[in-house]
Chain A
Amino acid sequence: MRRILAITGRETAFYGAVAFFVIVCAFPFYWMLITSLKTNSDLYNVTNIPFWFTEAPTLEHFRYLFEQTLFVRWLLNSLVIGLCVTAITLVTAIPAGYSLARMSGRNGEALGIGIFLTYLVPPSLLFLPLSRIVADLGLQNSMWSLVLVYPTFTIPFCAWLLMGFFKAMPPEIEEAAIVDGCSLFGAFMRMTVPLSLPAILTVVIFTFTLTLQEFVYALTFISSSDQKPVTLGVVTDLVRGDVFYWGELMAGALIASIPVAIAYNLFLDRFISGITGGAVK
């Protein structure tokens, strides 16, 4: 009897904790969803229960978002910026992380930390000098300025992340490939890169998310609506003066965040398990 009570207690505690985290994580999405589906009169009546519909749900906010704003264009801009920045980051950070991990001896560590530190300098400090550079290059008010600027914070962090991963990878695999007939670059491409797929995928998702959520640079460099990424467009074009288009804001935020949430849930877990198992004992 006592054992049953103990087990029940333990399970209650476990599922209680799980429920707590589920609520913390899922509540913002629920709030976005329900707000985006409420009619304005329901939304702004303070006597209504905010957690559920009082009037019938409506798709009016979504219709407005797609028909009266450049929302699709903003999504597309974000996608293009994200893909370009991710590509630039991968091409730069993978070799950088690898050389920091393998080839620079004792200085590698210090250099790695130094590179990571640059990530800690806040954009609110950097946008002043960077806006000068962007203007000199004739990129002001163009989304390509963001493609240029975003790698300044994605590359350091990703190089550092990959450095840690490469360090944990046994060098014997590459060395075996080198003795078996590869050049250093060949061993890197045929062994290191495929075996670091979990880390590379993490970098892809991380970079994409960072560019998607960036705000300060986008706000300072871009003013034309058709050049804005989604994060900026939704906030700047749907808050007019002191009028907040809450339904449209929430609808925009929901649509922009769903792909990221799906990507995180689908890919990460699948790749981060035991791909290197059995290489070395």
Chain B
Amino acid sequence: MAAVSTRDIIKKFDEIPAVNGISLTVPDGEFMVLLGPSGCGKTTFLRIICGLEKQTSGDLMIGGAVVNDLPPRARGVAMMFQSYGLYPHYTVRKNISFPLRTQRVPGAEIERKVAWASQMFGIGHLLDRRPRQLSGGERQRVALARALVREPTALLLDEPLSNLDAKLRSSARQEIKQFQQRVGVTTIYVTHDQVEAMGMGDRIAVIDHGQVRQMGTPSEIYDDPADRFVATFVGTPPMNIVAQNGGYLGFRPENFLPKAMIKDAACTEFKFRVDRSEYLGSERIVYGVLEGFDPKQAITAKLPPAHVADEWIRPGEWHSFAVRDSALRHFDQDGKRAGRH
């Protein structure tokens, strides 16, 4: 059974569509990531699911029932906000038990569930503190505990990691994924960070201008992008796109290698002029242009530093680079993938 499913959700603010017809289905227990640039409508869509916004048109089903007209409290979903939205005047214990108290769960039951949630997130020793006495990571765990304590049909997360510093972020990423798998709760996770999306999602929905551009597993999104937007939004550096024969040709920087490094497969050759290169330790990014294509179109190559000969990265010189034919992606003039199944 689908935990959450939507049909043609449209949301307009003053006639300007923020969400422009999103239909998606999230099966029970799935970790679904909504990925898109800021302002693409992904947060608005999440707020529609939890009921903080009402859609202009379209249907929303949670746990099999249409909930279009139900208030948030009757939908059985939990949401964790970007800023966590902890209640500053309550202790951690009261924060976590709040969703149970509003549902008039009996006292003993509340105590048992708070103990369960706080033990799972390792915050048992913090129960009598207030949110302002907690670190960023601890606040996040409290927010998660509060969201999960009433065992919601779906857990909605709105950019939960954007308040953490880079180091904490990667461990929090792992933690959220682990908790999700342990509890098995259906999760919809909104982010603009493709690393989070690729690393955590069972499936990813790439959203732009209020529409789903592509939905699929991380490898489908990365290897088989449906259009130019997805191809250039996912991946660092993004996919190289050059105009060719009225359409577009795309290839990932890591597949754009010196000809000498490709020995075993059919490949397409390009003349590449190196302008500049960056050494990043585990990789070397080389910037330049292709002969015979738009000279303003910058092309990047991502090379393994150990195998890079000095002459390949000397600025101003032309070299023979190539892409395996299997790694070339063709797009038609509208930017859609040509000849895609």
Contact = CB atoms under 8 A, between A and B. Distances in A.
Contacts of B133: 278
Contact of B88 (A175, A186, A275): A275
B79 interface: yes
A178 B73 contact: yes
Contacts of B134: 278
Contacts of B84: 172, 280-281
B50 interface: yes
A280 B162 CA distance: 12
Contacts of B132: 274, 277-279
B88 A278 contact: yes
A178 B134 CA distance: 23
A180 B83 contact: no
A195 interface: yes
Interface string B93-134: 000001100110000000000000000000000000011111
B130 A278 contact: yes
Given A180-B99, A181-B73, A281 B89 contact: no
A166 to B, nearest CB: 15
A11 B174 CA distance: 55
A48 to B, nearest CB: 57
A173 B84 CA distance: 8
Given A191-B87, A279-B87, A181 B50 contact: no
Interface string B60-98: 000000000001110001110111111111000000001
B41 interface: no
Nearest to A173: B85
A179 interface: yes
B181 interface: no
A179 B50 contact: yes
Interface string A267-281: 000000011111111
Contacts of B102: 180-182, 186
Interface residues of B, number: 31
B52 interface: yes
Contacts, number: 85
Contacts of A170: 83, 85
Contacts of A179: 50-52, 72-73, 77-79
Interface residues of A, number: 24
Interface string B132-147: 1110100100000010
Nearest to A182: B102
Contacts of A182: 73, 102
A161 B84 CA distance: 27
Contacts of B99: 180-181
A105 to B, nearest CB: 9
A183 interface: yes
Contacts of B50: 179
Interface of B: 50-52, 71-73, 77-79, 81-89, 98-99, 102-103, 130-134, 136, 139, 146, 163
Given A182-B102, A278-B130, 11 more contacts: A172-B83, A172-B85, A175-B52, A176-B85, A178-B52, A181-B99, A275-B88, A276-B88, A277-B132, A278-B86, A278-B133
Interface of A: 170, 172-173, 175-183, 186, 191, 194-195, 274-281
14 contacts: A173-B86, A173-B88, A175-B79, A176-B87, A178-B51, A178-B71, A178-B72, A179-B73, A179-B77, A180-B73, A180-B99, A181-B98, A275-B88, A279-B83
